[in-house]
Every structure is written in C-alpha cells, then in structure tokens.
Amino acid sequence: MSTAAIIVAAGRGTRAGGDLPKQWQTLAGRRVADWTLDVFQRSQDVDRILLVIHPDDRELAADLDVETAIGGATRDASVLAGLLALEGSDCDKVLIHDVARPCLDGGLIARILQTLDSADGAAPALAVTDALWTGSSGKVTGMQDRQGLYRAQTPQGFRYPAILAAHKSNDRPAADDVEVARNASLDVAMVEGHENNLKITTPADFARAEHILRGDMDIRLGNGYDVHRFGKGDHVILCGVKMPHDRGLQGHSDADVGMHAVTDAIYGALAEGDIGRHFPPSDMQWKGAASDIFLKHAVELASHKGFRISNVDCTLICETPKIGPHAGAMRAIMAKIMGIGADRVSVKATTSEQLGFTGRKEGIAAVATATLVQT
C-alpha cells in the first residue's frame, strides 16, 4: 500500500495579481509551485505526487519532474480529476494540498498520515484566537462567538477509497475536501496546524511567505575531489553507470570517482570529513563495495542533521571514456539515491588538454560541489 499527494494547482488566483497565476510566480528565488512540491518530494512518507494543473499551464509545468493531471473548472472537479488518476493503484492514503501553501512543514505531513491510522480523514487546523465581528458598510454590527471555531489548512488527508467515493457522490459546492468528506458522513480528525502554513491569496501574502522561506535558513556548500588510477579491467563505473572500457579504475571500493567526489562534497558541507573517515579503507568489509552505500550514508547523515540536498554539480576530468552519452543516466541514478529531482543534479565532463595524469590517460579525477539547505 502507498501514500499519494495531490497538489491542486489548476486555479487562476486572480486576487494575487501579477501576469501569471500565483502558483507560477516567483517567490524567494523559485516559483511557488517549486517550493510546495519540494516539501512533498523530500518527505519520506509520500510515495507518489500528482500535480493537477490548468490545461493552459502545460508548458509552465513541463520542467517539473512530477506526474500531472488536468484539472476542472472548480476546485472540487480538480481534486476529483486527481483522485481518478490514482484509480487502479495501490494507494490507500491520500493528501490533498493547495499549491499556494508553500511554507508547509514536513513534520505536519507525518502527523496527518499517522492520524489516518485511526481515522477516515485528518486535517490541520488552528483555533481562532482573535475577536470576531460581523459588519456591514464598513461598520461593526455585532460580535461572533469564537468558541469552537478553527481555521482550516491543508494538506487534508484521507483514506483513499473513502474520499474518492465521497467526491464521486458529492453534488454540491464545497469549501474544501473536509466538507466533501463530511457530506459523505466521514469523520475527520483535527491535527494541530502551523501559523507559517499560510495560503497565498493577495500580493501582501508573497512578502510574508518570502520572509518565512528565507528566514534564518542555514545554507551549506561543500566541495569534493577524488582520483582513481587506471589498471586492469574491462569497465569503469562512473556516477553509478557501468561503462565498457579497455581498463578499469583501481580502488578499495568500486572506484566510482564521480560518486566519491559527490559524497565527499556532502560530508564537507556537514563538516563531517570524507569517505575515509566513515568507511576506512583499512576495513576489509568495504573492499569492492558499491559506492552508492557511501552516498546513501551521506544523504542520511544530512537528513539526520536537519538538511536537505538542494543541488549537486559533478565534473569528471578524463580523456576517455566519453561521458556525454551516459550523463543522463548518471544524473538519474544520482538523483534517485539523493532523493531529489534530476534537474538538481549536474554531471558533466572535461579533458585536461592532454596535460597531467588525466591527459596521459593514467586515471580519472572528479570535482563536485553540493548545496545543502536547512529543513
């Protein structure tokens, strides 16, 4: 069984102003949709992400490494389109989230899904603490009791079969998916929300969201460098890709010089030394080991310390073999290991103009840079 996230992004958001719908506008250096998707892509609890877009936004979403579906004329119709796209899968839990809430905390996702273990639905809410008035023509006309009132947020989580049936049978407008669920007599538990999980609605909300996203963010840069010499063999392994070659690279592990450089860059950003510190070459259990073991450890260590990998850039320095035809596969493998999109992994190659040991084809060198961002 799996968990899916439906990100509703088919609206036009005219109250936010701007030349583009708000989900495609820039916020703190990235688009709103990029920030929102990033939270779900980093989550260990979400197996599948579906972005529901307006048919006019296909080109705007083309560069996203995420599954898409075409939404409808209303929010309810867009959510149903997303739910229908999941039919026939092994999905048992689904999160439905507004794309215009980019400041979501990943911990909230985990709390909602945990609550679904004992409820049909679970949604974040904040108790209303301000005094409430009624008004007309710019004047206060009365007071409204705030007791028992809550501000609704997303993501709203549900058991997939139950919410799919609820949306299929719903025949009236609903403010959100909790209302659809309640119309179908489903019980929905409340989970503590967060003030930062605001929904961008007006131009002023962009400034507040940018302040939250930039905040006191801890951004780390790390560099890695590695070299392995050629020796006997019939292949090399570079960034996880096995390539036929008339010689092999020599090393205690599989001598994947590219993956080693990236791993050391992550360790460097964390001030955690290098591969040798964590996997000593004197320890025979690592002899011939696949280098993805080292990279996975570095990624897990970063997560444990509260960081996510934002992007990685790796340059392989060699005369042979030719890297270009394999760069796409290398990026895909590295991205999967690190849990990020392939558009955040760069693998490229250069020669040393026949100078030095790489120019004499005695070995391959690699340099890498990794950017880590505090979660």
- What pLDDT, in 10s, does the model give residues 330-342? 999 999 999 999 9
pLDDT tens digits, 80-109:
999 999 999 999 999 999 999 999 988 999
Q: Would you say 311 and 280 are in contact if contact means Cβ atoms under 8 Å apart?
A: no
DSSP string, 312-363: EEEEEE-SSS--GGGHHHHHHHHHHHHTS-GGGEEEEEE--TT-HHHHTTSE
pLDDT over 80 at 215, yes or no: no
pLDDT over 80 at 216, yes or no: no
Structural domains in the chain, CATH included, are: 2-214 (3.90.550.10), 219-374 (3.30.1330.50)
Give helix 292-304 / helix 327-338 axis angle, nearest 10°: 40
CA 76 to chain centre: 25
For 162, which DSSP code? H
pLDDT over 90 at 15, yes or no: no
pLDDT over 80 at 327, yes or no: yes
Q: Would you say 22 and 84 are in contact if contact means Cβ atoms under 8 Å apart?
A: no
* Angstrom distance (rounded) from CA 356 to CA 363: 10
* Phi, psi (degrees; rounded to nearest 5) at 357: -65, -35
How crowded is residue 141: how many other Cβ atoms within 10 Å of its Cβ? 9
pLDDT over 70 at 262, yes or no: yes
Residues 210-237 have a mean pLDDT of: 90
Closest to 225 in 3D by CA, of 363, 343, 321, 335? 363
**Tokens 């820039």 correspond to what residue?**
26
Residues 258-268 have a mean pLDDT of: 97
For position 74, what pLDDT does the model report?
A: 93
For position 67, what pLDDT does the model report?
A: 96
The pair of structure tokens assigned to 86 is: 């999941």
Please state whether 288 falls in left (phi above 0), alpha (psi between -120 and 50) or beta.
left
- The pLDDT > 70 percentage for the chain reads 100
For position 208, what pLDDT does the model report?
A: 93
pLDDT over 90 at 271, yes or no: yes
How crowded is residue 8: how many other Cβ atoms within 10 Å of its Cβ? 24
Q: Would you say 343 and 65 are in contact if contact means Cβ atoms under 8 Å apart?
A: yes
* Angstrom distance (rounded) from CA 303 to CA 272: 13
**What's the chain's average pLDDT?**
94
pLDDT tens digits, 359-372:
999 999 999 999 99
pLDDT over 80 at 217, yes or no: no
The pair of structure tokens assigned to 15 is: 């109250």
Residue 173 preceded by cis peptide, ω within 30 = no
The pair of structure tokens assigned to 326 is: 């394999």
pTM, two decimals, is: 0.61
